Amino acid sequence: MNEANLQSRVRSELPVEWRRSKGFTPYPDAVAFMENRVAQIRAGTAPELVWLLEHEPIYTGGTSAKPEDLLSAEKFPVFKSSRGGQYTYHGPGQQVAYVMLDLERRGKDIRAFVNALEEWVIQTLAEFGLNGERREGRVGVWIDRSSNSGGFREDKIAAIGVRVRKWVSFHGISLNVMPDLSHFSGITACGINETGLGITSLKDLGITATMQDADTALRSTFEIVFGPTCEMDP
């Protein structure tokens, strides 16, 4: 099945609630909220939700996290996470989007869902003139910087880590807008330890964009890939 067909499987015309939190949201509070919202979505008592927020500097380890990839446990608080994937960093200047969608009515196809998340990020990056790319065997979205470095170099600009419970998704994506990239040094981020692979951000690539700019782009491209959104009272 080609990518267009994969993406069409996850689209719905029922509006998804779109929410943006100000300040920093504690990670345990975010997880508790998602757990509750997933149960409500499954019960039919709450709509689907995309929740954009920032965390204070933390490391989270997904279900595939390896102890040896936590290089500096004392650098920032470390949390175990039920999402897929390995260790990653969250912090100021990184846009986290927690995606709580009912996949039971979006094709019940996890591969198509992850593909659509990647496409969402790729289209968002295109709004800033960047060519985001997928890589076989490497989840997330990558920027090829080989021509600028004089040798092979590809940097990850967005991470994807999700969990699905009773066909409702949670956790989601993180897009590096303008985080302190040195904060990634306390982990082997996403298990990336190959020569020529690293981490980048919009700012690192010379793109002057605010968090609001990223929010706006994420919302418009989400609607292209997944369907309409709506804002609800706080």
**190 catalytic per annotation:** yes
Residue 140 lies in a domain: yes
Distance CA 175, CA 125 (A): 9
What φ, ψ does residue 205 adopt, rounded to 5°? Answer: -90, 5
The answer to whether the beta carbons of residues 170 and 81 sit under 8 Å apart is no
User: Is residue 234 in some structural domain?
Assistant: no
Which range, of 3-12, 92-101, 117-126, 212-221, averages the lowest pLDDT?
Answer: 3-12
Specify the length of the chain in residues.
234
Tens-place pLDDT, residues 91-141: 999 999 999 999 999 999 999 999 999 999 999 999 999 999 999 888 899
What pLDDT, in 10s, does the model give residues 34-63?
Answer: 999 999 999 999 999 999 999 999 999 999
**Which domain covers residue 114, as residue numbers?**
3-227
In a domain, 233, yes or no: no
Total tally of structural domains belonging to the chain? 1
In a domain, 40, yes or no: yes
* Tokens, residue 144: 């090829």
For 176, the token pair is: 């590096």
- Residue 149 domain-assigned? yes
Rounded distance between C-alpha atoms, residue 211 and residue 221, angstroms: 15
Q: Are the C-beta atoms of residues 118 and 175 closer than 8 Å to each other?
A: no
Grade residue 196 by pLDDT with cuts at 50, 70 and 90.
Answer: confident
Domain presence at residue 27: yes
Q: Which run of H or E residues covers position 168? A: strand 168-176
Residue 57 lies in a domain: yes
Tokens of 56: 């204070």
Asked if residue 232 is part of any domain, the answer here is no
Q: Which of 50, 159, 190, 218 is catalytic?
A: 190
Name the DSSP letter for residue 187. B
pTM: 0.93
Query: 206, 193, 60: which is closest to 128 by C-alpha?
Result: 206
Give me the CATH number covering residue 119.
3.30.930.10
